[in-house]
Amino acid sequence: MNYLTIPTTVMNTSEIVLGCMRIAKMPVRDVSRLLNTALDAGINFFDHADIYGAGKSEEVFAAALELTPSRREQIYIQTKCGIRKGFYDFSKDHILASADASLKRLKTDYVDTLLLHRPDTLMEPEEVAEAFDQLETAGKVKHFGVSNHNPGQIELLQTYLRQPLIINQLQFSITNSGMIDRGINVNMENAASVDHDGGILEYCRLKNIRIQPWSPFLFGFFDGVYLDHPKFPELNAVLDRMAKEKGIAKEALVIAWILRHPAKMQPVVGTTNPERLKDICKASDITLTRPEWYEIYRAAGKELP
C-alpha cells in the first residue's frame, strides 16, 4: 500500500480509503473481519457519514474495531454531516450536534476530518466558522473538508474559516469523468466540453485540496456497477484483457486508473467483501502507462478531439 500525506496534516494515510456506508446491517463479526482485512492490506483511512445507516454504520464500526488508544492513533477516521431528511443543514447547531453524535457512536474523542456532505444553499458561512472553531478548540475535530462542492462554494466558505478545507469528495470513475472530460475538450462545442463543476479538478490541485472519488465502480448516479455490465462491452473487453495481462482483478485495474492521475486522488471503495478488498488493494502496486490510461478512457466511449 502506498501512502499520502493529507494537506496540512502530519499523518500518512493509505491512498485507498475504505468507505463504511454499507456496513450498517452487517453482523459485527463480519465487519470485524472486513476491517482487519483492510488494516492487514495497509488501509488506515476509514470514511463515514452521520446518515450512513442512520448512524448505525458508525456504531457497528466502533463495535467491530474496538478502538484502544494505541489503535486509534494509527488510523484516520473521517465523517460527514449536513444531510437531513428532505433538506440540507449547515447551521451551527446541527454541525455541533451531528459531530457530537458521531463521536458518541464511534466511541472516540475526536475525528480526524469532518466534511460538509452536500452544499446547503442556505448556508451562513459565519455559523459554519463558529461551529468549526468550537469543534477544533474542544479537540473534537482535527481537520475539515467538504464533499460535492464547487470552487465558488469552497471559496465562500474558506473566506470565513480559519481552518483550511483539505478534502473534497467528488463522484469520479471511468464512466463518470466529467471533471476531466471538459479539460480534454477545451475550445470544443461538443457535450464533453461543457463545464459542469467550475474546473473543480484544477482548482483542488491549485489549492492543495485532496480529491476523494466516491463510487469508483458505478455509472450514472447510483445506476449500477459498470464492470461486466452489458451497457459497456468495449470498456469491459479492454479491462478484461488488461487485467489479465497484469495478473490483477478488474476492480484493482479501475482503482489503478484513478491513482494514475497526478492529482493524487484518494478513492473511497465501499466493498464489504474482504476478498474483493484484498484484490482492490493490489492497485497500489500498479502504475499504468499513458497509452494504457487513455485506452481505458476511450473504451468508456470517450472521444479525444
**Residue extents of the structural domains in the chain:** 3-299
Q: Supply the pLDDT for residue 75.
A: 96
Mean of the pLDDT values across residues 265-291?
97
Inform me whether the pLDDT recorded for 66 exceeds 90.
no
Provide DSSP, 206-256: HTT-EEEEE-TTEETTTTEE-TT-TT-HHHHHHHHHHHHHHTS-HHHHHHH
Mean of the pLDDT values across residues 201-220?
96
Q: Which three cell numbers stand for residue 266?
A: 484518494
CATH class assigned to 3-299: alpha beta
Q: Supply the pLDDT for residue 10.
A: 79
Inform me whether the pLDDT recorded for 44 exceeds 80.
yes
**Whole-number Å distance between alpha carbons of 26 and 7:** 33
Across 82-223, the runs of DSSP E, i.e. the strands, are: 83-84, 87-88, 111-116, 141-147, 165-171, 210-214, 218-219
Q: Supply the pLDDT for residue 19.
A: 98
What amino acid positions are annotated as catalytic residues?
Answer: 52
Q: Supply the pLDDT for residue 41.
A: 97
Mean of the pLDDT values across residues 35-63?
97
Of the chain, the percentage scoring pLDDT greater than 70 comes to: 100
Q: Supply the pLDDT for residue 244.
A: 98
0.85 surpassed by pTM: yes
Residue pLDDT, tens place only, 138-168? 999 999 999 999 999 999 999 999 999 999 9
Mean of the pLDDT values across residues 2-8?
89
Mean of the pLDDT values across residues 70-82?
94
